[in-house]
Amino acid sequence: MKTSIRQLLESTEFDRQITLQGWVRNKRGNKNVGFLAINDGSSIKSIQVVVEMSTISDELWAKVTVGSCLSILGTLTQSQGSEQAVELQAQTIEVLGEAHPEEYPIQPKAHSFEFLRENAHLRIRTNTFGAVFRVRHALAFAIHQYFNDHGFFYWNSPIITGSDAEGAGEMFRVTTLDMRNLPKNEDGSIDFKQDFFAKSTHLTVSGQLEGELGALGLGLIYTFGPTFRAENSNTSRHLAEFWMIEPEMAFYDAKDNQDLAEDFVKYLFKYVLQKCPDDMKFLDERFQKENQGKKKEEQSEFGLLEKLNFVLDHDFARVTYTEAIDILYNSKANKKKKFKYPVEWGIDLQSEHERYLVEQHFKKPVIVTDYPKEIKAFYMKLNDDGKTVRAMDILVPGIGEMIGGSQREENYDKLLGRMQEMGIDPQELSWYLDTRKFGTAPHSGFGLGFERLVQFVTGMGNIRDVIPFPRTPQNAEF
């Protein structure tokens, strides 16, 4: 079995011969001795390799360039420097893959994130992206572990669907029809009966509706998979392809839902702080340096680690939407017209409003509940007032909303009425309505965008930098 650099850096077994394989991050030296920084992706830290120049030919040394891949046989020794405890004294070097310096774009210098997005196939070899994607892995593992340990079943919802779960209509079509010769009905509309699935189909925007079906048989389920939005938004917060975590729980009311979501978020943050200390320390330092370079009004008052501990150290405040609007309306910020967007009952809270509640008023994460039905989805349970639904959003510092969820409407007639109000064809969701006809039960759930979570935990400013290959308007490279 190969020994990773992470394991070697933690080792105290010196004076033993090992084979090290990895990529050159840096190269320096003189005519007597050379020093290589080698990284294999297992850790943000590289291991130093010391090369006696008398043991290597000039021709071979010339091929050892930044980005090249090496296999090195040598002796693991205590390091003479203060940067790390161990180093490798090289005996033989084999170049597994060359990287010509005049062509290799990732050099040991500062690169803009825009440049690295253009080279997304190579950006993983930088310290920042190595840290981000190791943290992404840790969070994904923690999600599965949390739900497994709490009795949930992993439920695979379909990627291809005939329904629009959100009713937003921003969906990517899936078809095998010939675009140059589309079959038509008599009225001129496309005859989807001749398509592969014999109906109009799309890439899913959510696994929730199918998740509810699973919960109403297995009790506790969660989905974790890719979802798609054909929203033409070219911003730092939007992706056309992203991953969603969506648990659904039978016999959970709105409060149970809130309790689970709070516990879940805290578990994830605690896990990543424990399992990725070196990566998180690096990302915190990067975040603070970047923050200092911003205009004062754009600076975050929290460091990255400070922000995560802020969430961990507080019980989440809980406030109704109506109470939140009153707080915002009567705030000094509103009276001094510091809000860009107006505050009135019925608005969809903007990020500036959400952040004010978290960072200025409550000074802790906030769960806002009982939103107006007009700004929420059809499947949310109607409250007795007839005006609000049992929705909940979890708000955190820096970004505002992180999680959205609700108790679902289990009453057949009320759900049907809401669908008709919102222009959703009940026939297209007859299978969903069936669950309210046959053994309906109270149930709840929530959704957490995985990339939004990774962005919050890593402190990256652009959501395109927390997914390996971002899909955005006008961009589907790699």
* Stretch 226-250: mean pLDDT: 93
- pLDDT given at position 1: 63
- pLDDT-derived band of residue 293, with 50, 70 and 90 as boundaries? confident
415-462 pLDDT, tens per residue?
999 999 998 889 989 999 999 999 999 999 999 999 999 999 999 999
48-100 pLDDT, tens per residue?
999 999 999 999 999 999 999 999 999 999 987 767 889 999 999 999 999 99
- pLDDT given at position 57: 96
Strands 443-449 and 241-250, sheet pairing: antiparallel
How many whole angstroms separate alpha carbon 105 and alpha carbon 343? 48
142-192 pLDDT, tens per residue?
999 999 999 999 999 999 998 766 555 689 999 999 999 999 999 999 999
Model pTM score:
0.94
- How far from chain centre, in Å, is Cα 462? 11
Which of 337, 333, 413, 323 shows the shortest CA–CA distance to 368?
323
- pLDDT given at position 295: 79
- How far from chain centre, in Å, is Cα 125? 20
* Stretch 38-49: mean pLDDT: 96
Q: ∠ at Cα 106 (104, 109), nearest 5°? A: 130
- pLDDT given at position 168: 56
Beta bridge partners of 449: 244
* Stretch 382-406: mean pLDDT: 96
- pLDDT given at position 164: 65
Both tokens assigned to 34? 């050379």
* Stretch 197-209: mean pLDDT: 94
How many whole angstroms separate alpha carbon 281 and alpha carbon 459? 12
Contacts of 476 (CB under 8 A, 6+ apart): none
- pLDDT given at position 188: 93
Contacts of 433 (CB under 8 A, 6+ apart): 412, 415, 416, 426
- pLDDT-derived band of residue 225, with 50, 70 and 90 as boundaries? very high
307-341 pLDDT, tens per residue?
999 999 999 999 999 999 999 999 999 999 999 99
Please state the three-class secondary structure of the chain as a single string: CCCCHHHHHCCCCCCEEEEEEEEEEEEEECCCEEEEEEECCCCCCCEEEEEEHHHCCHHHHHHCCCCCEEEEEEEEEECCCCCCCEEEEEEEEEEEECCCCCCCCCCCCCCCHHHHHHCCCCHHHCHHHHHHHHHHHHHHHHHHHHHHHCCCEECCCCCEECCCCCCCCCCCEECCCCCCCCCECCCCCECHHHCCCCCCEEECCCCHHHHHHHHHHHCEEEEEEEEECCCCCCCCCCCCEEEEEEEEEECCCHHHHHHHHHHHHHHHHHHHHHHCHHHHHHHHHHHHHHHHCCCHHHCCCCCHHHHHHHHHCCCCEEEEHHHHHHHHHCCHHHHCCCCCCCCCCCCCCCHHHHHHHHHHHHCCCEEEEEEEHHHCCCCECECCCCCEEEEEEEEECCCEEEEEEEEECCCHHHHHHHHHHCCCCHHHHHHHHHHHHCCCCCEEEEEEEHHHHHHHHHCCCCHHHCCCCCCECCECCC
What is the residue whose two structure tokens read 């309306």? 329
Q: Which amino acid is at 88?
A: L
